[in-house]
Amino acid sequence: MLDIQLCAASVLGDTLAGRNLSTAFEEGFRRHPSLSPGERSVVREICYEGLRSLGLLEAQLGRLLLTPVRHAGLRSLLLVALAQLQFTRAKPYAIVDHAVRAAERLGQPAARGLVNAVLRNFLRRHDDLGRAAWNTPEVKFGFPAWWIQKLREECPARWEEVVAAENRHPPMTLRVNRRRTTLGEYLECLAAAGIEARALGEMAVRVDPRPVSEIPGFAQGLASVQDAGAQWAARLLDVSDGQRVLDACAAPGGKTGHLLELAELDVLALDNDPARLGRIAENLGRLGLQARVECADAGQPGQWWDGRPFQRILLDAPCSASGVARRHPDIRWNRRPSDLPRFAARQAAMLDAVWQVLETSGKLLYATCSVFREENESVVEAFLFRQPGARLLKLHPGAPDGGRIWPDDDSDGFYYALLEKR
């Protein structure tokens, strides 16, 4: 448990310092190479639960300390231990004992007594330090105050449902590859493997979370992991055989693969992150599909466009990712209100850029995984004002109302707008 605590404290500390959670995990596991796969899973569980309840943990720690802890690593260790005491089944005495030893490993031997006192005091005062005793948004809802206020203003009728959904464990949803099997056949395949499943849509199936190695036919391309809400993107773009399609921000390639499962297409998949391009090729290879994959900034067509227009464009624009905060709990604490106009400006610039390469009568699907209007409806409304030749199309029956998918038990949060060039 000692190395688990130290690794989790390292990951949590790096994340609170502004590092992306995935990168923080990679660095933490590099620092602790002896951790087994099972122990790494425990580290992930602690950090995810710790970040979801960070407001509560920080409030509790503040009440348990006479003066703030200045050493960042020691503070992260205390937060990790508090998370373990509340959200894991490990024995409290073992958590406390290992945390005391971990303090010495952090180069803080003088803090052994402090760590012991704080954690034992928490165990004595657990009832009065529970969530119910706090009324701040950070503690009550697990989100920063500005985030809660913005949700209350923009979706007053359902903001509490959205927050509750964003604090639950995310669902695991599969996309059945229609080129290789049918929904019914794959449901039978899952049943034969003893896996309970529930159909959510045309090719979407929800299962209990598990490693992909346990998913029947995954390695053979029978199914992919993709949120049910994300599966609307390819369907809404309305592709057909022979079309030239641009996937403007393609990594890791889930939507690219879905498009190619729906029709025989000439697809150009772009992403400006070289490290993520391999994921696109990996996913397409597993599915037995092909696309041209290039490392390029979609907002700079002069770098990659060959002059031939596209019939369809998918712009899954970079955004705050506020609709997938339950999958990336670091987002809620590392985002700032000032980030939203910055994202909106970038989204507008990318829309204007890729619009140039869309043929007349062609369609562009603007997509985000944000719940905030500033990155969604406001971006599209401003674009329509700048581009008189653009028309906002109604989505087909059964599609998300107004292009909005709010986070719920079965889906993350998304926004879609289908635009036609006249």
Mean pLDDT on 279-295: 95
Asked whether the predicted pLDDT for residue 181 surpasses 70, the reply is yes
| Model pLDDT for residues 188-223, shown as the tens digit of each residue | 999 999 999 999 988 999 999 999 999 999 999 999
- Report pLDDT for 396: 82
Catalytic residue among 7, 189, 319, 369: 369
| Banded pLDDT at 301 (limits 50, 70, 90) | very high
Phi, psi (rounded to 5 degrees) for 397: -55, 140
Separation of alpha carbons 384 and 308, rounded Å = 24
Q: For the chain, what percent of residues have pLDDT higher than 70?
A: 99
| Banded pLDDT at 130 (limits 50, 70, 90) | confident
Separation of alpha carbons 268 and 113, rounded Å = 60
As given in the structure block, the two tokens for residue 232 are 């609307």
Separation of alpha carbons 386 and 377, rounded Å = 14
* Average pLDDT value for the chain: 95
| Model pLDDT for residues 62-117, shown as the tens digit of each residue | 999 989 999 999 999 999 999 999 999 999 999 999 999 999 999 988 899 999 99
- Report pLDDT for 135: 81
Counting Cα atoms < 13 Å in the Cβ hemisphere of 29 gives: 17
Find all residues with CB under 8 Å of 119, minimum gap 6, and list them. Answer: 78, 81, 82, 85, 95, 96, 99
| Banded pLDDT at 134 (limits 50, 70, 90) | confident
- Report pLDDT for 305: 96
Asked whether the predicted pLDDT for residue 397 surpasses 80, the reply is no
| Model pLDDT for residues 343-394, shown as the tens digit of each residue | 999 999 999 999 999 999 999 999 999 999 999 999 999 999 999 999 999 9
Asked whether the predicted pLDDT for residue 133 surpasses 70, the reply is no
- Report pLDDT for 399: 85
- Report pLDDT for 132: 62
| Banded pLDDT at 128 (limits 50, 70, 90) | confident
Mean pLDDT on 169-197: 96
Domains of the chain plus CATH, in order, are 2-136 (1.10.940.10), 172-226 (3.30.70.1170), 231-421 (3.40.50.150)
Active site annotation includes 369: yes
